[in-house]
Amino acid sequence: MIKVANLTKRFKTVTAVEDISFNIGESEIFAFLGPNGAGKTTTIRMLSTLISPTSGQVTIDGKNPADDGDYIRSIIGLLTETPGMYEKISAYDNLDYYASFYDIPAQRRRHNIEKYLKMFDLWKRKDDPAGTYSKGMKQKLALSRALVHEPRILFLDEPTAGLDPESAHMVRQFIDSLKHENTTVFLSTHNLEEASGLSDRVCIIKKKIIRIASLAELQGSSKSKRMEIVFSDGASKFLTLLEKIKQVSSVEIRDNRAFLVVDEPHQSNPFIIRSLVEKGADILYVNEIKASLEEIYLGLIKDEETR
């Protein structure tokens, strides 16, 4: 659905995005992660035809933005990080005005406006000027605007920013449901828990792409794993033994639990458990603790900064 090859964007002497390439499939939720200034918003602006790249190629649904910009704009929805609305007119009229840019029959347009205003709990205030809305309500109105023409590709830049927990949860559920409606979602967010729960794959970027993978692939890529060993009683008596095992690079004891970082656990774990049992350990269970996306992200960013 989206193909990007060697995409670069320079602003005079500043390179915002440098030689990035990736493909996004239909109905995929693709999370785009990186620190401030990493090039996330610039990439969204290029893919949504708002600005042109300095070099490289973009293909959206088989079309080139330079030649088929009108078609591409007709099939995408865009939520920017700081969405602007016409604050002196009503929420309903805002959506009606933006929907009029698309080839949508009037009855369908009215249906969609009502659908999304009700979905985001704004229907009762549909006639109020958008300028009277709170920050969270404006965010939900901007989401409605991005969706009102039923786009096949949705670019979301911080979609739950400014929302209360209940509204943010509802928006995340809605985003997750889009994959069943053949909608491709390009999700830029600083909320790593949100990205972890929603995305099929994540792309970690800092001007250049650092890594593209699913969360499972990221969690499985390290040869060292965090393990938890739960004993029937205090674990501290086995601290010295664990520290002497060369495959164990670190140990932390909490009550009856030992948390280890183990090299090559598939090979090392049987030896570690056997050594503990021979010393009289009564082990209840052994569990692998998978790294969170936040831990993986911070590690990859730190590695990139030290290069």
Length of the chain in terms of residues written: 307
Classify residue 145: in a domain, yes or no: yes
pLDDT of residue 178: 87
pLDDT of residue 222: 66
Classify residue 299: in a domain, yes or no: no
Q: Do residue 56 and residue 135 come from a single domain?
A: yes
pLDDT tens-digit readout, 40-76: 999 999 999 999 999 999 999 999 988 899 999 999 9
- Please give the Cα distance from 269 to 285 (Å, whole number): 12
Number of domains composing the chain: 2
Classify residue 265: in a domain, yes or no: yes
Q: Do residue 102 and residue 249 come from a single domain?
A: no
Q: Do residue 113 and residue 232 come from a single domain?
A: no
CATH number, domain containing residue 249: 3.30.70.100
Using DSSP bridges, classify how beta strands 29-33 and 184-188 pair: parallel, antiparallel or unpaired: parallel
pLDDT of residue 2: 96
- What residues of the chain score a pLDDT lower than 50? none
Classify residue 303: in a domain, yes or no: no
Q: Do residue 148 and residue 259 come from a single domain?
A: no
Contact criterion met (CB below 8 Å) for 8 and 15:
yes
Q: Do residue 96 and residue 173 come from a single domain?
A: yes
- Rg over CA atoms, the chain: 24
Helix residue spans in the chain (DSSP H)? 40-47, 65-75, 91-99, 106-119, 135-147, 165-178, 192-198, 215-220, 239-244, 265-278, 293-305
Q: Do residue 132 and residue 267 come from a single domain?
A: no
The residue out of 161, 188, 218 marking a domain boundary is 218
Neighbours of 177 (CB within 10 A): 10
Domain of residue 257 covers: 223-290
Q: Do residue 247 and residue 144 come from a single domain?
A: no
- Please give the Cα distance from 301 to 209 (Å, whole number): 11
